[in-house]
Amino acid sequence: MKLIRLKYTKWYNISKDGLSKNNPIVVAVLGICSALAITNKVDNAIAMGIGVTFVIMASSATVSLIRRFIPSKVRMVTYMVIISSFVIAFQMFIDAFFPAIAAALGPYLGLIITNCIVMGRAEAFAVKNPVRYTLVDGFANGLGYMYVIVSISAVRELLAFGTILNYQILPDSFPTWTVMAIAPGGFFVLGLFIWLIRDVTKNYEFS
């Protein structure tokens, strides 16, 4: 009984939107730059996913808190300032505690600012909704982003290095595919992933 009622609550719908129905990468095709550039290792993808989730939640909540005070003419710049403060915080955290990952991510960590998902959630959702919903929405979108980039990175790391999270999975005799570690591999894997997900969910785009 409880479960049936849950299906119709706003919380449930918001989460479902972010995770599957309007998944930021597969359906809306946003935030691709980071999804491709850093997904040749699983640990980089996890760090990036956590970073993006944190930044979306924190910046959406902040935007939502002060939404009545933002003049609509300068709202883009306001979002930018809010988002970049949180990105700087996250960058300092990674620099301090995980220097190896910070070195691997390089400039892409700072580029979370221009990740269209963060800006998109601020503009499309946070300015119109109260704080408690924006937190759920940010979390759902962040997780939707994270599971896609972690799946892509698992495929790429396995084929490019024969490892997952630096544990040897494939035997040494496996000829590693160097192309998977560089840009073309990312493009192909994401293209095929979008094809797979759209065929499974029957969520087609007609152009």
Partner 1 sequence: MNYLEIFIGSILNHNIALAYILGMCPLIAISTNIKNAKGMGLAVVFVVTLTGIINYPIYVLLQRTNTTQLSLLVFIITIAATVQFLEMFLEKFIPKLYNAFGIFLPLITVNCVVLGVSLFFVNRSYNFFQTAAFSFGSSVGWMVAIILVAGVREKIKAHSDLPKGLAGKGIVFIVLGILSLAFIGFTGLASIQ
**Contact set with partner 1 (CB under 8 A):** 29-33, 36-37, 76-77, 80-81, 84-85, 87-88, 91-92, 106-107, 110-111, 113-116, 119, 179, 182-188, 190-191, 194-196, 198-199, 204-207
Q: Which is nearer to partner 1, 24 or 133 (CB)?
A: 24
CA distance 87 to 69: 22
Q: Which is nearer to partner 1, 80 or 131 (CB)?
A: 80
Terminal Cα-to-Cα distance of the chain (whole angstroms) = 42
Q: Which is nearer to partner 1, 29 or 50 (CB)?
A: 29
Work out how close the CB of 66 gets to partner 1 at its nearest, in angstroms, rounded to a whole number. Answer: 17
Read off φ and ψ for residue 24, nearest 5 degrees.
Answer: -55, -40
Burial tier of 111 (Cβ tally within 10 Å: 0-12, 13-18, 19+):
middle
Q: Look at phi and psi of residue 168 and say left if phi exceeds 0, alpha if psi is from -120 to 50, else beta.
A: beta
CA distance 143 to 31: 13
Work out how close the CB of 16 gets to partner 1 at its nearest, in angstroms, rounded to a whole number. Answer: 21
CB 149 within 8 A of CB 46: no
Work out how close the CB of 204 gets to partner 1 at its nearest, in angstroms, rounded to a whole number. Answer: 5
Work out how close the CB of 46 gets to partner 1 at its nearest, in angstroms, rounded to a whole number. Answer: 19
Structure tokens at 16: 């479902």
Work out how close the CB of 12 gets to partner 1 at its nearest, in angstroms, rounded to a whole number. Answer: 27
Q: Which is nearer to partner 1, 105 or 136 (CB)?
A: 105
Q: Which is nearer to partner 1, 12 or 93 (CB)?
A: 93
